[in-house]
Amino acid sequence: MKIFLDDSKCREQLFPFTYTKHVADIRIGILTIREKWEKLTGETICTSIEDKDSKYLTISANVIPTINNYKSILGQISGITIDTDIKTLDHPWEIFQLNDRAIREDFELLTRYKISRPVSKTNHCTAEENIFISEGAIVEHCFINASTGPVYIGKNTTLMEGNMIRGPFAICEGATLKMGSKVYGATTIGPYCIAGGEIKNSMLSGYSNKAHDGYLGDSVLGEWCNLGAGTSNSNIKNTAGEVKYKISDESEAIAAGNKGGLLMGDYSRAAINTSFNTGTVVGICCNIFGRRFPEKSVANFSWGDERYHFDKAIRDIDNWKKLKGHAVTESEKELLHKLYTSNL
């Protein structure tokens, strides 16, 4: 069955993460929404309206499929009503709010009928049956508690000595967790990220770094982000009151509960010892620095208190990508230039 994932009606409500990517390419749990559909159906998923034809079944891209509900989703689209628990991603902060559930569901999808590599005896583990270690992973001298949720350790990852991990937790292909880190569930370290310090209930989407001491809690980092040493965020107000997020200048602030940290769009970075307030939204391609707290809503292409010159922004992004063996592509330049000139 051919599936077209349509984000035309849900894209804007998931800014800043969908300025630069399709909703289907948002990571929640271990996999992106696109990857979930591909693994569940065995089909290549279409997200381009130009490639769609009448044979495709159209599904809203923010619907989160699982082993237990994807057939019901397909049935409902076809006019068959089935009472099943189906979640949709309606706001960007729901990436961390739904990450516990999503890690558990993806763990089941990725590990069924598979055998974990053995856990090294140098580690201290609780509920070892809930730990899955993939090929090429290096995990030594760590403390892993999987009694509170599954722990998925992806291909060619490195968990350095002294890490303390409490599930549910996932570290994806090629990522590194540095020595002595404290990670609480539900946290995902995306592909080729470098993580360290204290992290709780957060998503690092891919190729991003939070490599040093400092606290990241109830937060989402996009791709190709970097947090300097000592950077921390607040995830609860001093009043313990409602946290509100304002996603764009045109949108109203929306309450997200009493826990809510940093939402940082792709290609953005923060200098050492940056302190983010609760409910902060940083746009894409930002360079955060200065002596005071950043604003709670940081516009795309911000350079301190000024606007990034486009050529400088691209040069700096390219420098960061080269650190991981990549380079800015022409399609990235075209997309970012379009966004830059649109004043989003």
Assess whether 75 and 117 both reside in one domain.
Answer: no
Percent of the chain with pLDDT over 70: 96
Nearest CA-CA partner of 102 in 144, 61, 67, 59: 67
* 228 in a structural domain: yes
Average pLDDT, the chain: 94
- Residue 242 is assigned to a structural domain of this protein: yes
The number of domains in the chain is 2
Query: What is the per-residue pLDDT across 98-132, written as a single tens digit (0 to 9) for each?
Result: 999 999 999 999 999 999 999 999 999 999 999 99
In this prediction, residue 83 carries a pLDDT of 59
- Of the candidates 173, 168, 217, which has an alpha carbon nearest to the alpha carbon of residue 193? 173
Convert the pLDDT of each residue in 38-74 to its tens digit.
999 998 899 987 766 768 889 999 999 999 998 888 8
Residue 1: per-residue pLDDT: 72
Residue 86 has pLDDT above 70, yes or no: yes
Structural domain includes residue 24:
yes
Residues 300, 198, single domain; the answer is: yes
Q: How confident is the model at residue 91 (pLDDT cuts 50, 70, 90)?
A: very high
Q: Looking at the structure, tell me whether residues 86 and 137 fall in a common domain.
A: no
Regarding whether 115 and 61 lie in a shared domain, the answer is: no
Any idea what the CATH number is for the domain that residue 182 is in? 2.160.10.10
On whether residue 193 sits in a domain, the answer given is yes
The token duo for 253 is 């602030």
In a domain, residue 95? The reply is no
Give yes or no for a contact between 134 and 157, defined as CB atoms under 8 angstroms apart: yes
The predicted model gives 134-156 an average pLDDT of 98
Average pLDDT over every residue of 288-306: 94
